[in-house]
Amino acid sequence: MSCKKKFPFRVGTTSYIIPDEIVPNIEYLKDKVDDVELVLFESDEMGNLPSAQDIARLQEISEEYDLTYSIHLPLDVYLGSADAAIRKRSVDKCHRVVELTEALHPSAYVMHAEAGPGIDVNGFSNGEKNGFAENFHISLERFFSGIPVQPSEFCVETLNYPFEILGGVISSFGLSVTLDIGHLELYGHPVNEHLDRYLEHTRVLHMHGIKEGKDHKGLQYMRAETLDMVMQALSGNHDQKRVVTMEIFSEDDFNASCAELIKYGS
């Protein structure tokens, strides 16, 4: 199943559709999508950062198949932490990933703003929420002082907490947005209001369904009215560089999701 070159935006999915490493996944997806989200991680125990040889192969595929890459910065970074040492480690880890993937000319970088492992921003007082936003701001100042890229290439993702907590920070840096539609649905945030408010600044959308309370399932599990709403919004706000990522992790869900999207294709 292929969704490539069927929409006035770039359709993508993740680098973990078949049970293999990144390059075999790209080989599998190169003629099926317009963009692949490289889901990268690095820890003391293990990591999946591509080698120089891998990067060279990804460049070759990109040029031959008109394939772009969006980079999901590591999940275990806490740019909104109250601990300055944790913020510094997080910024340094993000720097390494940006430097590693710079040669791929990414379509976007997807960034989480989190306070720490297992810390739920929803439980914060108003003062703590302001502090969280300020800590994120401090991390970004350090981050952008160390890399030669534009802030608009970095897209802050909607997570479980109200996104407006970070509105001032996003505006002050000129950041872009990753509207994660699955997260909005899972955590009860109104999709229509977020589309109205943020679509103009949205460089990436994450699309996935919810099954038995778990997200990142195929689009066949998205509410039909939500999928209709998003596709209608996109049809009225064309941006050929915008990426719509089916953020799923299996071949079955990929094929089923493509089948759902193609219903809206021209």
83: domain CATH number is 3.20.20.150
Mean pLDDT, residues 58-71 taken together: 98
pLDDT given at position 43? 61
Residue 5 lies in a domain: no
pLDDT of residue 47 exceeding 80, the answer is: no
Q: Report the number of distinct structural domains present in the chain.
A: 1
Residue 2 lies in a domain: no
Mean pLDDT, residues 155-168 taken together: 98
pLDDT of residue 42 exceeding 80, the answer is: no
Residue 118 lies in a domain: yes
* Largest Cα–Cα separation, the chain: 51
pLDDT given at position 259? 97
Residue 133 lies in a domain: yes
Mean pLDDT, residues 96-106 taken together: 95
Taking all residues of the chain, what is their mean pLDDT, rounded to a whole number?
96
Residue 4 lies in a domain: no
The helix (run of H) or strand (run of E) holding residue 205 is strand 202-207
Considering the chain, what percentage of its residues have pLDDT values greater than 70? 98
**Structure confidence by residue, pLDDT tens digits, 196-217:** 999 999 999 999 999 999 999 9
Can you give the residue range of the structural domain that contains 241?
A: 10-262
Cα of first residue to Cα of last residue in the chain, in angstroms, is: 16
Confidence of residue 266 (pLDDT cuts 50, 70, 90): low
- 212 — alpha (psi -120 to 50), left (phi > 0) or beta? left
Q: Are 160 and 120 in contact (CB under 8 A)?
A: yes
Residue 73 lies in a domain: yes
pLDDT of residue 184 exceeding 70, the answer is: yes
Confidence of residue 238 (pLDDT cuts 50, 70, 90): confident
**Structure confidence by residue, pLDDT tens digits, 8-25:** 999 999 999 999 999 999
Confidence of residue 46 (pLDDT cuts 50, 70, 90): low
pLDDT given at position 44? 55
3-state secondary structure of 132: helix
Mean pLDDT, residues 170-193 taken together: 98
Residue 77 lies in a domain: yes
Confidence of residue 113 (pLDDT cuts 50, 70, 90): very high
Q: What is the dihedral of CA 74, 76, 80, 82, to 10 degrees?
A: -150
User: What is each CA distance from 172 to 139, 152, 260, in whole angstroms?
Assistant: 13, 11, 37
d(CA 108, CA 20): 24
> Residue for token digits 């109104």?
190
Residue 115 lies in a domain: yes
